[in-house]
Amino acid sequence: MEIMSNNFVIETHNLTKAYGKFVAVDSLNLQLPEGEVFGLLGPNGAGKTTTILMLMGFSEPTSGTVSVIGYNPAREPIKVKKVVGYMPEKIGFYDDLTARENLEYTGRLNGLSGSLLKDKIDGLLEVIGLKDKGDQMVGKFSHGMKQRLGIADVMIKDPRVAILDEPTSGIDPEGTDQILNLITEMAKRKVTVLISSHQLHQVQKVCTQVGIFSKGRMLASGPVDKLGREMLREGQFNIIMPVAQLADKVSEEIMKIPGVISVECVGDSTVVKAEDNLEKELEQVILKCTGLKIQMKVEEFELEEVYMKYFRES
Ligand SMILES: Nc1ncnc2c1ncn2[C@@H]1O[C@H](COP(=O)(O)OP(=O)(O)OP(=O)(O)O)[C@@H](O)[C@H]1O
Ligand SMILES: [Mg+2]
């Protein structure tokens, strides 16, 4: 029996895919509300594409459930494909057709025709920055141009959901920014977006939530900033002061602050390791002991570090 709340546009419950004894996706739980831009982040072989294939109904789960806009993709793949725009890892266009003709083909498959289709294609070619290249053969397009055309190909059917498998892989920073802007554009139109990527840095900019995926398991997920903070809570704060050497008495007083782990001299600075961000408490103790107000810097952990930490540990 399937119990799906239907409040989520994409929802999986213990979704699992095994190839023989090898488990490519292991008990994945996803819940994406409308308008979310979710980044499924993980290294090569994490199971991102396998997950996406199950969401699209191209691959049947070994166990667990999956629902996309209330449909079970394994049983109702056509209904899912109607509302979901999918950009595969390797986009296939007809190389001997023009960009416009390729978009016309997709448009027709989705019931569009005549001036409505033409206007839509004109608009999309403009949005993806290929207005002047519409009549060029796609075979002559660069990789980045094909990726952008891929986004237009997804957008032409006004999908409620867009599932993009590595949309920025293999393109230069400028091309990546263009793709990310297009994703933001889709989000503005209330499209729920799932992007898979191993390029955390770039993709996190447009994501409302990210999941860190490795070896088939979701190791952590949530809003980018919250994920960083949670990691911080588990870890340590480094509070750095531009003071080469603190008087022993000051160090002793600092060590008395609950949560302080150590006080060390590192080069020209003093680093206080603590379980919490004790910047205020430190400031007070130093002011009390020396009469000085010292500028401090709290070492911030970027999501990159969270990502690297999880990948190292997994
Ligand atoms: N049809 C298959 N038969 C056997 N193993 C498979 C099959 N498809 C994928 N796998 C394995 O499942 C694991 C996950 O693969 P998947 O393609 O989902 O990873 P990914 O996260 O998309 O990686 P990448 O970033 O390289 O695209 C890999 O170890 C892969 O070899
Ligand atoms: Mg993949």
Ligand 2 centroid to residue 49 C-alpha, Å = 4
Ligand 1 centroid to residue 179 C-alpha, Å = 24
Ligand 1 centroid to residue 45 C-alpha, Å = 5
Q: Please say if the pLDDT value at position 4 is more than 70.
A: no
Q: Which atom of ligand 1 is nearest to the CA of 17?
A: 12
> What is the band of 16 on the pLDDT scale with cuts at 50, 70, 90?
very high
Average pLDDT score over residue span 258-273: 90
pLDDT of residue 311: 62
**Terminal Cα distance for the chain, rounded:** 33
Q: Which of 16, 17, 19, 214 to mutate to test the pocket of ligand 1 (most atoms within 8 A of CB)?
A: 19
Ligand 1 centroid to residue 274 C-alpha, Å = 41
pLDDT of residue 257: 95
> What is the band of 1 on the pLDDT scale with cuts at 50, 70, 90?
very low
Average pLDDT score over residue span 39-60: 94
Using a pLDDT cut of 90, give the percent of the chain over it: 60
Q: Which atom of ligand 1 is nearest to the CA of 20?
A: 4
Residues of the chain with CATH 3.30.70.100: 233-301
**From the CB of residue 181, how many other CB atoms can be counted at a distance below 10 Å?**
16
Residues with CB under 6 A from ligand 1: 19, 22, 24, 42, 44-50, 89, 198
Ligand positioned closest to the Cα atom of 22:
1
The residue among 96 and 6 whose pLDDT is bigger is 96
Q: Which atom of ligand 1 is nearest to the CA of 198?
A: 25
Which residue's CA is the closest to the ligand 1 atom numbered 16?
47
Asked if 39 contacts 195 with a C-beta cutoff of 8 angstroms, the reply is: yes
Q: Which atom of ligand 1 is nearest to the CA of 53?
A: 18
Q: Please say if the pLDDT value at position 64 is more than 90.
A: yes
Average pLDDT score over residue span 251-273: 91
Ligand positioned closest to the Cα atom of 212:
1
Q: Which atom of ligand 1 is nearest to the CA of 213?
A: 21
Which residue's CA is the closest to the ligand 1 atom numbered 8?
50
Torsional sign, CA 184, 186, 187, 192: negative
Q: Average pLDDT, whole number, for the chain?
A: 88
What tokens were used for 175? 């091309």
Please check whether the domain covering 233-301 is classified as CATH 1.10.10.10: no
Ligand 2 centroid to residue 190 C-alpha, Å = 25
Q: Please say if the pLDDT value at position 116 is more than 80.
A: yes
- In 20-160 the beta strands, taken as DSSP E runs, fall at 22-32, 37-41, 63-68, 84-87
The residue among 275 and 9 whose pLDDT is bigger is 9
The residue among 233 and 43 whose pLDDT is bigger is 43
Average pLDDT score over residue span 298-307: 68
- The identity of residue 81, as a single letter, is K
Ligand 2 centroid to residue 121 C-alpha, Å = 29
> What is the band of 230 on the pLDDT scale with cuts at 50, 70, 90?
low
- Cα–Cα dist 54/71, whole Å: 12
Q: Please say if the pLDDT value at position 249 is more than 80.
A: yes
- The identity of residue 77, as a single letter, is P
Which residue's CA is the closest to the ligand 1 atom numbered 24?
44
Average pLDDT score over residue span 189-196: 94
Burial 222-253 (b: 16+ CB within 10 A, else e): eebeebbeebbeeeebbbebebeebeeebbeb
Ligand 1 centroid to residue 14 C-alpha, Å = 18
Q: Which of 41, 49, 53, 198 to mutate to test the pocket of ligand 1 (most atoms within 8 A of CB)?
A: 49
The residue among 179 and 170 whose pLDDT is bigger is 179
pLDDT of residue 172: 83
pLDDT of residue 227: 74
- Cα–Cα dist 153/93, whole Å: 10
What CATH code would you report for 10-222? 3.40.50.300
Residues of the chain with CATH 3.40.50.300: 10-222
Element holding 214 (H helix, E strand): strand 209-214
Least confident piece of the model among 52-56, 89-93, 250-254, 296-300? 296-300
Average pLDDT score over residue span 189-204: 88
> What is the band of 3 on the pLDDT scale with cuts at 50, 70, 90?
very low
Ligand 2 centroid to residue 10 C-alpha, Å = 19
Q: Please say if the pLDDT value at position 69 is more than 70.
A: yes
> What is the band of 301 on the pLDDT scale with cuts at 50, 70, 90?
low
